[in-house]
Amino acid sequence: MLLDPDLHKATLQVCSRCIYDARVDAITFDQSGVCNYCHQTDRLKQQYGTGTEIGKSTFQRIVSEIKADGKGKRYDCVIGVSGGTDSSYLLCLARRWGLRPLAVHYDNTWNSAIATENIRKVLGAMNVDLYTHVVDNKESDDIFRSFFLSGVPEIEAATDLALAEVMYRAAWTNGVKFILEGHSFVTEGITPFGRNYFDGKYIQSIHQKHGRRPMKTYPLMTFSRFMWWTSIARIKKVRPFWYLDYSKEAAREFLERNFGWQYYGGHHLENRMTAFCHGIYLPQKFGSDLRNNTLSALARMGRMTREAAWAEYNTPPKIEPELVTYFKKRLDLSDAEYEHIMRQPPRSWTEFPTYKKRFERLRPLFAMLANYNLVPMSFYLKYCFPAKA
């Protein structure tokens, strides 16, 4: 829900360092009005030495480990690519560090033309091989349709989990022990607790309830497969930008100047389903706008004033004019069906079967795995503790 764009006219409590407000899941404020998510960012920066010589030194040791493990192999790491800023720039850095990455892309068949062309330009110029897993478009649409009919916000859960599974498969097939991911908690923030939950059981339960065709080409990651990849295969996930200083704006300028790479208009908007989710579905049905993750991060870093970030957050997101029409056509929804679902009360992932309780019971194990980069620290922080109201 949009509020007055003037921060000083806010009618609810807003963090004194970022723009997270009292509506954010599990938020708390200290005596100075600083939210728990800002404090979490501070702790992570200290833990990883982000942007300091300690962080650089730690990451350089990881690079040396990757090179040693990859000696004699065609590739020494896997990098997931989307055509977006972070993954494209990470690919360039990997080559600069002397690594031999295999680029991996999960095509959910909703890519924008700009994203596809960005992948081609960067990989061609950097002489990097690409492995793409293309899911059957009817099957992909059936999964998206199932989530939409369920009335839950995680309409993109299947894409996020599939990319993780495809990267693990590509790494295993090529004898690679390291996956590099372009996430930065400094520039993107850590998604608030309880928001954007997904796991294999959740996807299965939603699809079993509303799906019309079996999953055949969709790469589902079950709990047993997840444990295999992390505990038996021991494929590590490394996020370089958790250690290094990173500017998304500088990265974008570098890509545009050197490769003719094109910006797609907003964070995570390189995919049309993502654009629908962020620009239409979440704001209109759930009153949720994920732009506050990035805008809050920019405010924390001092790259944007809180006033400017709040004003942008409370300005309607830019959307492609024909996106809703495209969405309804792809998912075989009539105008009446679409409007009915959008008017129904929102539902939550907590109403469906998931692995969440299992992750919580195994918290000590996942803490150890996170410390060894065998699962992302963000997974441990979000999935292994009870969700707060």
CA distance 39 to 17: 10
Contact 374, 231 (CB under 8 A): yes
Quote the pLDDT of residue 389. 46
CA distance 156 to 278: 10
Q: How many C-beta neighbours within 10 Å does residue 259 have?
A: 18
Contact 197, 352 (CB under 8 A): no
Range of the domain at 259: 36-263+354-383
Is 99 within the bounds of a domain?
A: yes
Total H helices, total E strands in the chain: 18, 5
Is 114 within the bounds of a domain?
A: yes
Give φ, ψ of 201 to 5 degrees: -70, -40
Is 331 within the bounds of a domain?
A: no
Is 365 within the bounds of a domain?
A: yes
Is 77 within the bounds of a domain?
A: yes
**Residue 274 reports pLDDT greater than 50:** yes
Quote the pLDDT of residue 269. 63
User: How many domains does the chain fold into?
Assistant: 1
Is 348 within the bounds of a domain?
A: no
Least confident of 21-30, 254-263, 312-321: 312-321
pTM above 0.85, yes or no: yes
Contact 152, 206 (CB under 8 A): yes
268: left (phi over 0), alpha (psi -120 to 50) or beta: left
Quote the pLDDT of residue 387. 77
Is 5 within the bounds of a domain?
A: no
Task: Write the CATH number for 71.
Answer: 3.40.50.620
pLDDT tens per residue, range 150-162: 999 999 999 999 9
